[in-house]
Amino acid sequence: MKLNNLALNHLAKTVVLGLAVLLASSAFASNKGTLQAHETLVVNGQQLATGEYQLRWDGAGSNVEVSFMQGRKEVAKASAKVVALDRASDYDAAIVDHSSGKAIVTEVRFAGKKYALALGATEKAEMSEGANK
């Protein structure tokens, strides 16, 4: 009976460890996406020429740092907030603000994902805006 309990205990620990590794690898894999720029875009003051960019982000909770990569070269970096969407985006897309005369990226959405990256919208920015009111 003790041997059976030990075997069951070992099996349970193995399953839990396996699930933890699977979830960690899934979370890591989801922290990247693709953006196709069809016009010159501005991200955190940096101009991005037309072309394809790989986005990678890292951070704790909803506040992240996003890197815009072309190949292995980081061409821009920005703070962002991961925001939930009501439904998954149909395609990869950038929400662009043209009001200043420049194409400033304010949000990036990813095909099939129910979240987006709101660039420049971190809790620190929100707290400083609240202090200025």
Report pLDDT digits (tens) over 117-127.
Answer: 999 876 544 44
Per-residue confidence (pLDDT) for residue 91, from 0 to 100 = 93
Confidence of residue 133 (pLDDT cuts 50, 70, 90): very low
Work out the pLDDT band at 9, boundaries 50, 70, 90: low
What are the domain boundaries of the chain? 1-30, 32-131
Q: What is the 3-state secondary structure (H, E, C) of the chain?
A: CHHHHHHHHHHHHHHHHHHHHHHHHHHHHCCEEEEEECCCEEECCEEECCEEEEEEEECCCCEEEEEEEECCEEEEEEEEEEEECCCCECCCEEEEECCCCCCEEEEEECECCCEEEEECCCHHHHHHHHHCC
pLDDT of residue 43: 97
Q: What percent of the chain has a predicted confidence (pLDDT) above 90?
A: 65
User: What is the reported pLDDT for 47?
Assistant: 96
pLDDT digit string, tens, across residues 13-57: 554 434 343 344 334 446 999 999 999 999 999 999 999 999 999
